[in-house]
Amino acid sequence: MLKFNFHFDVPHKGSLQAHGQLEFGTKLAILGPSGCGKSTFLKALAGLSPKRSGESTWLDQNFNQEMLKEGVLGFCFQSSPLFSHLTVLENLALPLESLKKYRPLSSELKKQRAQKLLLRAGLSDLANRFPPDLSGGEKKRVSLLRSLIFKAPLLILDEPFSDLDEENRRLFKKWLHEILLDHKGVLVFVTHHESDIQDLANLRFDWPSNKETVLDFSKAQKL
Amino acid sequence: MEPLSSQTRKTTDAFLSTFYVSVIWLPLIYAFISLSLQISSETLTSSFFYLLARSSLFGIFQASLSVLLIAAFSFAFGYLNVFYKFSLSSQKAISIIALFLFSLSPTIAALSLLNLGNFFKLSSAQGLSWIVACHFMMNALFVSFLFAKRLERFQLSQSHELIPLLKSFGTSKRKFIHVYLWPIFKNDFFSWAPQIFLWCFSSFAPVLLLSEGPHQSTPEILFYYSILNDRSGARIFCILLLNLFLGFFLNRSFGKSLSLQESSANKYSLKIDSYQKNKFFYFLILISIFFLFPFLLTLLQTISIIGNPKILFFFQELLTPLSTSFLISLCCFLLSFFVGFLCIVAKQDSPLIQYSNILSPPFILFAWLETGLRSENHFTSIFLVSTASFLSVFPWFYRQIKTQRDQLPIEWGLYCLSLGMTPFTYFRRILFPQHKSTLFKLAGVSSLWAFGEYAFSKVFFEKSESLPLYIDENLRRYNFDASSFGISLAYLGSFLIVFLILKSERPSSC
């Protein structure tokens, strides 16, 4: 269960307070205009950027390095930050090399696992390419796969389908939906599309207007 | 936010600053104070001040002239690129020549020109034009190559339809330059000109070897001669003050850094198919010959003596200087790599290092000699010369790595944090591979410059104990076979490093 109650600073907007509690099985979609602080909120929620005060906990534990090493968090950033010195396959295998539970696996097995995921997503031809050779949409898809490869119980996806054309958006969403059927943890994602909410979410939170400084997630709308 | 803790980075900062302060600033302050106690005014004559003013003006003049010529040359390539679709950056050979010339030790470049002048028996093979030619040869092609690359990247990434748009308006060439080429050029100019100006202004060996005596001197050369010959406290004090003042002023005003990042073609970058690679092929050959002429001539001189029994004699004679220079170079390479590791982790652009940009060999020499840091032992001298050589390029080296480090996306650190990566894993898997190529290039260039180190070698070693000293001595004795053989061996090292640098090229940004 993800619990949070903290203040965080949004550049050029001031400080906001967020509080709420997300049970296992929750698939929360957050909607809001660009620049309102959604990405900053997600990073603060996952303990990746500093909060002004307060905390967010996963299973009543604060986010810390030891917990993250266990592979609790799968985070897909909006800007698809793939490491340019690693191939797509190596980028995908990187989490498996870093996380504790995958350490006993040989690097060959880790690469095989990454290869399987690429195949499943229909991207196997990208395996040996470097990120600067990929289009924006390809980068986005690989970045999304990288956050899914180790089956983290907490998935945070920041605009996972932006940069994708309609066809790929539909295909990838369908594929993600299949994966999420097995996912028993918590999913939080940001989107600008109503169709994404209908297809993936069971809870919807609309970012409040500029004047409000409190984000009360208990008021999120059940779908 | 990234796995490296703020404490780790602050500790590294403190270590680097302490290292720099203890080997340069503290000895310099000590020397400055001890010298100021010996000041007597009788040596401060009006002729001395006249010489000082003239040398400052000469330094500024030769540096400005070099920068202007390089700018004009680079603009010409930009013009060809825009109007004739001539792609300089797609020429692999040019990237090799440009990097070779840029990474060549200034001493070796100056000695090559001196050799050229002596070969053609040019009585005036020294002077302003030769100094400027040396700076031009070393930097013009490299700067033009970078400009061409930026121009092409701009066309690809941001405005590939801007040129057709301007053409659709029926824009004249003059207007085209005004609204398109000139703004890009201006922007590019300010990214390299300050650094090149500083290098030319504080250029030591080329001015020392190619100037026509005291009336064509720079404050640094005056400083060098005062330390070694004059020994007048008051004069050294004045020159030191002037040098420091000019250094701080220039560094504050023009403290930008020339990036080595785009020094060679990125094999992952997009290609512009419409560029006509052959149209200016012959022109390019001419340019290459022009730039490589002094070096080709030296190589030809060497080839002509192959087979001659005296080559064995040269080999024997060169064994000590060559091994000494090689050890200096190797020591500098290892030092660069070690300090480079620390620079990757460090956080701040320390002002102590930033303002050391102008501390060229005479400063370090002065500081070390005054504090008694000198050794009779050959290997200790090698270590001292390589350290001094590294220190004189370190501020540039440091800024190069910091610039690259600052360009890494912040999300990389956040992503690694989300995986609970340890600082060591983050360094090993992400930071080091990202900087490896730059580190290798910089260490390569530093070691090449150390290979041609002149000022320290002249003071710390006996006659001809390092390669540049051996070449210099033979040139002055008109023993061209021996000198050209020595210079050719120095080229070999440069080619080897350039080859390895180009081989180590990897994509540097996403």
> Are residues B434 and A49, on separate chains, in Cβ contact within 8 Å?
no
Picking from B268, B409, B422, the nearest residue to A132 by CB comes out as B268
Q: Which of B6, B27, B45, B209 is nearest to B118 (CA)?
A: B209
Whether residue B271 has pLDDT greater than 50 = no
- Out of A99-103, B325-329, B352-356, pick the least confident: B352-356
Per-residue pLDDT averaged across B25-34, rounded? 87
* Domain edges within chain A: 2-217
> Are residues B418 and A50, on separate chains, in Cβ contact within 8 Å?
no
B492: tokens are 């070999």
CATH classification (class only), B53-263+270-305: mainly alpha
* Domain edges within chain B: 1-38+306-510, 53-263+270-305
Per-residue pLDDT averaged across B463-486, rounded? 85
Residue A109 makes CB contacts below 8 A (sequence gap 6+) with none
DSSP string, B29-68: HHHHHHHHTT--GGG--HHHHHHHHHHHHHHHHHHHHHHH
> For chain B, what is the mean pLDDT?
82
Per-residue pLDDT averaged across B88-101, rounded? 80
A84 to chain B nearest CA, in Å?
5
Tell me what pLDDT residue B285 has: 81
pLDDT tens digits, one per residue of B33-45: 888 887 776 677 8
Picking from B411, B420, B509, the nearest residue to A84 by CB comes out as B509
Confidence of residue A186 (pLDDT cuts 50, 70, 90): very high
Whether residue B278 has pLDDT greater than 60 = no
B304 to chain A nearest CA, in Å?
46
pTM of the model: 0.81
Tell me what pLDDT residue B124 has: 63
Q: Which of chain B's residues have a Cβ under 8 Å away from the Cβ of A94? A: 419, 429
B277: tokens are 């690679």
Residue A88 makes CB contacts below 8 A (sequence gap 6+) with A82, A118, A123, A126, A127, A128, A129, A130, A131, A134, A142
Please check whether residue B327 is in contact with residue B429, taking contact to mean a CB–CB distance below 8 angstroms. Answer: no
CATH superfamily of A2-217: P-loop containing nucleotide triphosphate hydrolases (3.40.50.300)
> Are residues A98 and B409, on separate chains, in Cβ contact within 8 Å?
no
B156 vs A47: which has the higher pLDDT: A47
B14 vs B356: which has the higher pLDDT: B14
Domain B1-38+306-510 falls in which CATH fold? Answer: MetI-like fold (1.10.3720)
Please check whether residue A74 is in contact with residue A155, taking contact to mean a CB–CB distance below 8 angstroms. Answer: yes
Is the CB of A69 inside 8 Å of chain B's CB atoms? yes
The residues of B whose Cβ lies within 8 A of any Cβ of A are: 1, 266, 268-269, 409, 411-412, 414-422, 425, 429-430, 433-434, 506-510
Residue B10 makes CB contacts below 8 A (sequence gap 6+) with B347
* Top-confidence range, A123-132, B224-233, B373-382: A123-132
> Are residues B268 and A130, on separate chains, in Cβ contact within 8 Å?
yes
What is the share, in percent, of chain B residues with pLDDT greater than 90? 13
- Please check whether the two domains, B1-38+306-510 and B53-263+270-305, share a CATH topology: yes
Per-residue pLDDT averaged across A202-222, rounded? 87
DSSP string, B199-238: HHHT--HHHHHHS-STTS--HHHHHHHIIIII--HHHHHH
Q: Which of chain A's residues have a Cβ under 8 Å away from the Cβ of B269? A: 132
Per-residue pLDDT averaged across B366-390, rounded? 88
B282/B278 Cα distance (integer angstroms) = 8
Whether residue B508 has pLDDT greater than 70 = no
Please check whether residue A29 is in contact with residue A161, taking contact to mean a CB–CB distance below 8 angstroms. Answer: no
Tell me what pLDDT residue A41 has: 93
Tell me what pLDDT residue B46 has: 85
Which H or E run includes B371?
none
Backbone angles phi, psi at A204, to 5 degrees: -130, 135
B109/B106 Cα distance (integer angstroms) = 5
The gap from C-alpha B78 to its chain's centroid, in whole angstroms, comes to 23
Per-residue pLDDT averaged across B81-103, rounded? 80
Per-residue pLDDT averaged across B191-214, rounded? 84
Whether residue A207 has pLDDT greater than 80 = yes
A118 to chain B nearest CA, in Å?
20
Which of A39, A48, A154 to probe by mutation at the B interface, max B CB count within 10 Å?
A: A48
What is the share, in percent, of chain A residues with pLDDT greater than 90? 43
B-contacting residues in A 139-178 (Cβ below 8 Å): none
Tell me what pLDDT residue A49 has: 86
B113/B126 Cα distance (integer angstroms) = 9
DSSP B254: S
Whether residue B226 has pLDDT greater than 60 = yes
Q: Is A203 left (phi over 0), alpha (psi -120 to 50) or beta?
A: beta
> Are residues B434 and A84, on separate chains, in Cβ contact within 8 Å?
yes
Tell me what pLDDT residue B194 has: 81
Q: Which of chain A's residues have a Cβ under 8 Å away from the Cβ of B1? A: 48-50
Tell me what pLDDT residue B324 has: 93
> Are residues A98 and B420, on separate chains, in Cβ contact within 8 Å?
yes
Tell me what pLDDT residue B327 has: 94
**ipTM, 2 dp:** 0.89
Picking from B418, B507, B510, the nearest residue to A75 by CB comes out as B418
> Are residues B507 and A95, on separate chains, in Cβ contact within 8 Å?
no
